[in-house]
Every structure is written in C-alpha cells, then in structure tokens.
Structure 1
C-alpha cells in the first residue's frame, strides 16, 4: 500500500470536513444577520405606526411642496 495515497485520502477527507464546517458557520452568521434585520424592520414599522398624527394643523399647511432649488 502506498503511503502517499493514504495521506492524500486523509487530506481530502479533512478538507471536505473543513469545508462543511465553514459552510455551517457561514449559514449560521447569515441567519443571525437576517434575524437582526427582522428585528430592526419590526422596530421601524412600530415606530412609524405609533407616531402621533398631526391633527391640529391648518388646512393650508402641507398641501404644497417647493421643489425648486
């Protein structure tokens, strides 16, 4: 039996295992990032929904927007 082929197979198995671990870690980090984005978006939506609506403004306020610079 050739020792170089045995060590080659061992290296191949080790590299495949390392790749699987790196993929699992990457997916875990991605899931945590997505969870953080969901929490941020939820907080932003709640803050908009809870903001007080200006009901005491006169009728002529907010009807026109000046777009010239």
Structure 2
C-alpha cells in the first residue's frame, strides 16, 4: 500500500464515523420531539370519570 491509499482509507473512515455520529444525533432529537408530543397528547386526555359504585363495590370502566 502506498501513502495515498492509506490516507484515503483514513479519510473515508473518518467521514463514516462523522456520518454515524450525525445520524445518531438526529435520531435522538427526533425521539425527543416524539416524547414531547406524546406527553402533550397524554396531558390533553380528559380525566377518567369515576363511575357509580356497583353492588360489588367495583367501578366499570366504560372507556376500555
């Protein structure tokens, strides 16, 4: 191997590592956005009504 091919291989490896780091960073940001949106959706849900207590003392969940 000559010096130029070694340098080209090192450069390609460095570029590949940078691309991987950028991809992971973008993925983490996308997951953070999804988490934020999921929390907003959960916060927007109406509270579950407490139904009347039946003869057995249980509550029937009509939203399930």
TM-score tier (shorter): 0.7 to 0.9
Using the size of structure 2 for normalisation, the TM-score is 0.74
Deviation at 1:57, TM superposition (A): 2.4
- Which residue number in structure 2 is paired with residue 29 of structure 1? 23
Answer 1 or 2: higher relative contact order, Cα 8 Å, separation at least 6.
2
User: How many pairs are equivalent?
Assistant: 56
Runs (5+) with no aligned partner, structure 1: 1-6, 63-69
What is the CA RMSD across the aligned residues, in angstroms?
A: 1.7
Distance in 2 of aligned mates of 1:41 and 1:10: 47
1:61 aligns with 2:59: yes
Runs of 5+ consecutive residues of structure 2 not aligned to the other structure? none
Structure 1 stretches of 4+ moved >3 Å: none
Task: Supply the distance in 1 between the matched residues of 2:59 and 2:18 (Cα, whole angstroms).
Answer: 56
> Residue 39 of structure 1 aligns with which residue?
33
**Larger gyration radius, structure 1 or structure 2:** 1
